[in-house]
Amino acid sequence: MENTVESNVRRWLDSPAVSDADKDAIRAMSPAVLDASFFKNIEFGTGGMRGILGPGTNCMNVFTVGRATIGFGQYLLEKYPEAKTMGVCISHDNRHMSREFTFLCANILNEMGIKVYIFDALRPTPELSFAVRRMRACGGIMITASHNPKEYNGFKIYDEKGCQPVPDKIAGVLAKIDALPDELAAQVEPKAEVPGETIVLGPEIDDEYVAAVEKCQINPNLGKQGFPIVYTPNHGTSYENAMRVFRDCGYEVTPVLSQCSHDPDFSGTLSPNPEEEKSYIEPLKLAEQINAQLVVMTDPDGDRCGIAYKSSSGDYRLFTGNESAALLMDYIFSERKRLGILAPEGVMYDTIVSSDLGRKIARYYGLKYETFLTGFKFIGDRIGFYEDLGFGPHFEFGYEESYGCLIDPFVRDKDGIQAILLYCEMAVWYFHKGIPLDIAFDELQKRFGYHYARTTNIAFKGSSGAEDMRRLMDELRNNPPSEILGIKVARFEDYQERVLKGSDGSVTAITLPKSNAIKIVLEDGSWIAVRPSGTEPKCKFYVEAIQPTADGIKEKWRSLTDDLLNSLGVER
């Protein structure tokens, strides 16, 4: 049987639909790039469809995006009798081809008779979610590769509630896409007799979204003078809305001007990803110059955020997504409780790879918590579930360890602008008490135990990389450890098999959807989790060390991580 890569390459080179420029690019590819570009069809993962821009079945291009849009349109027409008039909202980030993909998606849906709403320019992911809800559309599309490098772009879909569909809901979309001809042959058949129209959304959407964000404040009247803040949008979509919110709310904010242009090459930063230390280099330089107390950033599509702060020693330090969210939720819950607005039946949402610290904080304030698979769509979907039910716990906070959280569910995705506004408020609140954030976080850990959680990402590229990840996960499933660093394993959670195995031999069903993820919890509460990324060719290794004191916790985390990777034969 002919090799899949070879057959896909030949199909593209022989197709009259492929441009001469793309054919030349294919011929110039190295064997490794050819393999990565053509060894499979690009897939929907935890954050939609994401890949490197360029020709290829596993890449982002007009053919793969077009095919996905046709399948999504067919699904909407089948599910919603009024889909054509309800319409679809589309937005995009600052990346190469983002605007072109937006027009491509709009034209395809129009050919299917579906009305489309687009913005006059780029807008952040949370505002796309807001627009779907505001316009009562039947769905949404966001063209973005989030915090990935400049070579990437992506395609995310949203349901009528402004939430990315969870697996059982997206199955219908994937079935429609899979039933289509290949990406070079897929087309709208038949075209609607009356094409849909494309409508440009007006400034009222921005106005209403910004107003809703500003209502998230708990203590809006805190004095902000003398508390300088540095902000960067990482060349992305949040600059205009964020600066408007800062101005309206009275904060002293200085933007990193070299990172405010909507540059698709991200030329002003070494990384647009708040998870990476190198993304803070320029913001921290500016912070030193103006003696800022806080640095806040959003990623290119505006759903994630990161913060750095001036410590008690006078230097600048970074929080991880777990750490910043823990400190923020403690502030939110304590202040809502003081003001009498913390719901007695409140709930906090997180994920299986989020720190245990957040759950301990929620319990302390009498809140319930629910933990989901990785992907904020599960949190958004749960909010909608209780909304439809008409009763249930009141949403108080939701977050992921990957620098995303939600304060008010008027959107159904993580919202970087909501987050940075509340981070600023929290930091000012502590500032007036004379408590640097590192001291505040240490006090938090004295109450709940010390937690040190970090993620290690290992790249596995191409068809061989995919097979290596499969073998790695099989090895962990088939030969689970009974102890790590001499600490006994308390339970082994396999989310693909959907079983939890206790050290006492007990087996309990996991009710969450099937996912290729494994979590190993040790008797002292520390844990490790392994999960192939749903959007990138890499495997993620999550490790959290937990102990009563801070002494040696970083070394413990490092030893846990090294022991895990060495046992699996993974090189860093």
Distance CA 122, CA 301 (A): 9
Q: Which burial class, exposed, middle or buried, applies to 195 when counting CB atoms under 10 A from its CB (0-12, 13-18, 19+)?
A: middle
- Identify whether the C-beta of residue 451 lies closer than 8 Å to the C-beta of residue 546: yes
Catalytic residues: 146
- 75, 176 contact by CB (below 8 A): yes
Assess whether the previous peptide bond of 165 is cis (omega < 30° from 0): no
Question: 275 near 147, Cβ under 8 Å?
Answer: yes
Q: How far apart are CA 8 and CA 123, in angstroms?
A: 35
User: What CA–CA distance (Å, rounded) separates 146 from 134?
Assistant: 23
**Interatomic CA distance for residues 114 and 79, integer angstroms:** 13
Tokens of 326: 């823990």
Alpha-carbon distance 371 to 402, whole Å?
A: 15
C-alpha R_g of the chain: 24
Which amino acid appears at position 495 of this protein? Y
Token pair listed for 518: 């494994």
Q: Is 356 helix (H, G, I), strand (E, B) or coil?
A: helix
CA 560 to chain centre: 26
Per the CB < 8 A criterion, the answer to whether 263 and 235 are in contact is: yes
> How would you label 458-478 residue by residue, b for 16+ Cβ within 10 Å and e otherwise?
bebebbebbebbeebbeebee
Strand segments, DSSP code E, in 19-92 are 44-45, 48-52, 88-92
Structure tokens, 254: 């200085």
3-state SS class at 60: strand
Amino acid at 503: S
Say if CB 215 and CB 407 are below 8 A apart. no
Q: What are phi and psi of 371, to 5 degrees?
A: -115, 135
Q: Which tokens belong to 261?
A: 């242009």
Rounded Cα–Cα distance for residues 496 and 488 (Å):
23
* Neighbouring C-beta atoms of residue 127, cutoff 10 Å: 31
Q: For residue 248, give every residue at least 6 positions away whose Cβ sits within 8 Å of its Cβ, in sequence order, or none.
A: 210, 214
Token duo for residue 393: 């716990």
Q: Looking at residue 412, what DSSP letter applies?
A: S
Residue type, 136: R
* Selection from 114, 113, 12, 108 nearest residue 56 by Cα: 12
